[in-house]
Amino acid sequence: MKTFTKHLTINTKQRIDFINITSKIEEIVKESEIKDGIILINPMHITASIFINDAESGLIEDFKEWLEKLAPKQFNYHHHQTGEDNGFSHLWRTIMGRETSIAITDGKLDFGTWEQIYYGEFDGQRDKRILIKIIGN
């Protein structure tokens, strides 16, 4: 059994952004030289998410609208009493999920049709780290 760890740093130009990181993750899998295993991808921040879905721009806009309806940006969250203004971003992260794991088969991500890996940033414009941990042979 072999393990491989790498960190990516992302700094978005916008406070809220959805970034397709599939090609970066594929490069890391290749670098790891692990042919059969599991990859864990974790954004390591409480206002960001890693999730898998279709790479379609309309769907990204749907996510933004849906999240805004569930937890509006302009709301008086209790969290704001601490001096913060990002209560919604913590809720969005919970809704979209913390991390994802994917099987690796023959040295490649074992995806279904149309699946892509996304980094969801909900309180950006500063450096955020993504942990990539691969375990396998």
Query: In CATH, what number is assigned to the domain containing residue 117?
Result: 2.60.120.460
pTM score of the predicted model: 0.95
Q: What are the tens digits of pLDDT across the range 2-58? A: 999 999 999 999 999 999 999 999 999 999 999 999 999 999 999 999 999 999 999
Residue 82 has a pLDDT of 95
Residue 133 has a pLDDT of 98
Average pLDDT, the chain: 97
What average pLDDT does range 51-67 have in this prediction? 96
> Under 8 Å CB-to-CB from 26, ≥6 apart: which residues?
108, 109
Structural domain harbouring 28: 2-136
What average pLDDT does range 104-113 have in this prediction? 97
User: What is the pLDDT confidence band of residue 90, given thresholds at 50, 70 and 90?
Assistant: very high
Alpha carbon distances (Å) from 25 to 22, 50, 93, 128: 5, 12, 20, 16
What average pLDDT does range 65-91 have in this prediction? 97
Q: How many residues does the chain have?
A: 137
Residue 97 has a pLDDT of 96
For 9, other C-beta atoms within 10 Å of its C-beta total 8
> Closest Cα to residue 109, out of 56, 52, 68?
52
3-state secondary structure 88-117: HHHHHHHHHCCCEEEEEECCEECCCCCEEE
The count of domains in the chain is 1
